[in-house]
Amino acid sequence: MVQAQSAADARAAAQSRVRLELLTELVRKDLKVKYKNSALGFIWSLANPLLYLAVFTLVFDKLLKNGIEAFPVLFMSGFLVWNFFNLATLSGTGSVVGNANLVRKVRFPRVVLPLSSVGFAGVHFVLQLGVLLALLLVFYRDAFGAQLVLLVPALAVVVVFATAMALLSSALNVRFRDVEHLLEVILLAWFWLTPIVYPVTYIRDNLAGSSPWLFRLYMANPMTGVVTAMQRAIYVHPVADGRQILPSGGYGFYLTWLGVAGVIALVLLAAGLWTFRRLQADFAEEL
């Protein structure tokens, strides 16, 4: 009995190793296919956020003169993580439909398809974050302190949340093909409802007095929890005069909302897994 049990465990372990290898192989494929025919290859994926940075800095910092100290740092600390979430969700949505030929002809664990999209976005994010940290080392040394540890829970939450979204939307997109288009619009609205381009304190100052519940609802957006935590981790809270940029100099505020985001992300992950499992039996038929 014990032997049979350990043999079963070994088989299960071998199976999950094979699945992990499949996942790596799929991420590698996506990266290779994407950058195979471009001479600059990966540089493009790094240039993309820099382009956004240039535009947003020009418009909000230089033209609208929002007066935020080190606006590029505030912007990038939220934007990169948003970019990861956006890319993982969108490419995840098309992951099953895009591999229709495979799904219709070969048996393999379908769940690796949306997961590989998250991995694909993750590779980009890690490289972009690496470049950001390198730049901060040169231009914004203040970022390197104990608060940087906040990156760990923030990234954990966003990975779970993006995985949940990718699972859910990839499965639904097989049944309803316009989920992909709908999601693009939703993500655009979502971007502006998340404090990336503007500080969260602007919202708080406008809402906290009149309708505190509306502010709590605003904060309950998991991406807001993640983005504010990222900002606290990288952007140094200015003790400056006048307006506050970050809502709190401590960590309680950020960890609380990150906790809320984490719970929502886990619930959504369970829902995503359940939906994916339920719908995957019909994938080969629907495609």
Partner 1 sequence: MGAPTIVADGVGKRFQLHHRRATSLKERLLLHRQSSSEGFWALREVDLEIGAGQTVGLIGPNGSGKSTLLKVLSGILAPTTGTVAVRGRVASLLELGAGFNGELTGRENVYLNAAILGLPRRETERYFDDIVAFAELEPFIDNQVKHYSSGQYVRLGFAVAVHVSPDILLIDEVLAVGDESFQRKCLNKIAEFQQRGCTILFVTHALDLIPRICSRGVVLDHGRVLHDGDPVEAAERLRSLLGTGADQSGGAAAGTDRPKVAAVRLFDPASGAAKGHFRGGEAMAVELDVAAPAGSAPVAVRMAVTGPADVPMWVMDSEPLHPGPDGTATVRFTVKELPQIKGIYALAVAVRDPASNVTYDARRFGEAFLAAGDTATGVLEVVWTAEQVEHQVQP
- Where do runs of H (alpha helix) occur along the chain? 2-35, 43-56, 71-93, 95-98, 100-105, 112-139, 151-175, 179-192, 200-207, 212-220, 222-234, 252-280, 283-286
Q: Please give the Cα distance from 52 to 82 (Å, whole number).
A: 12
Q: What's the CA gap between 22 and 216, in Å, rounded?
A: 41
CB of 21 to partner 1, least distance (A): 5
Identity of the residue, 31 or 46, whose beta carbon is nearer to partner 1 in the bound complex:
31
CB of 2 to partner 1, least distance (A): 22
Q: Angle at which helices 222-234 and 71-93 pack, to 10 degrees?
A: 140
Least distance to partner 1, CB of residue 108, Å: 5
- Tokens 């990156």 locate to 151
Complex with partner 1: residue 99 or 194, whichever CB lies closer = 99
Q: What radius of gyration, in Å, describes the C-alpha atoms of the chain?
A: 21
Nearer to partner 1, 5 or 101 (CB): 101
> Hey, what are 22's tokens?
């499949």
Are 166 and 93 in contact by the 8 Å Cβ rule? The answer is yes
Binding residues for partner 1, rule: CB under 8 A, are 14, 17-18, 21-22, 25-26, 28-29, 32-33, 36-37, 99, 101-108, 175-179, 182, 281-282, 284-285
CA distance linking residue 149 with residue 155, whole number of Å: 10
Q: Least Å distance between CB 34 and partner 1? A: 9
Q: Which is nearer to partner 1, 178 or 241 (CB)?
A: 178
Choose among 171, 81, 86: nearest CA to 129.
81
Least distance CB 28 / partner 1 (angstroms)? 8
Shortest approach of partner 1 to residue 97 CB, angstroms?
Answer: 12
Least distance CB 33 / partner 1 (angstroms): 5
Q: Which is nearer to partner 1, 46 or 284 (CB)?
A: 284
Q: Which is nearer to partner 1, 17 or 141 (CB)?
A: 17
Task: Look at the block and give the residue holding tokens 């229709």.
Answer: 100
Whichever of 42 and 52 has its CB closer to partner 1, that residue is 42
Question: Least distance in Å: CB of 180 to partner 1?
Answer: 10
For residues 258 and 22, what is the distance between their CA atoms, to the nearest angstrom?
A: 32
Q: Which is nearer to partner 1, 65 or 105 (CB)?
A: 105
State the residue for tokens 């007066």.
67
| Inter-helix orientation angle 212-220/222-234, to 10° | 80
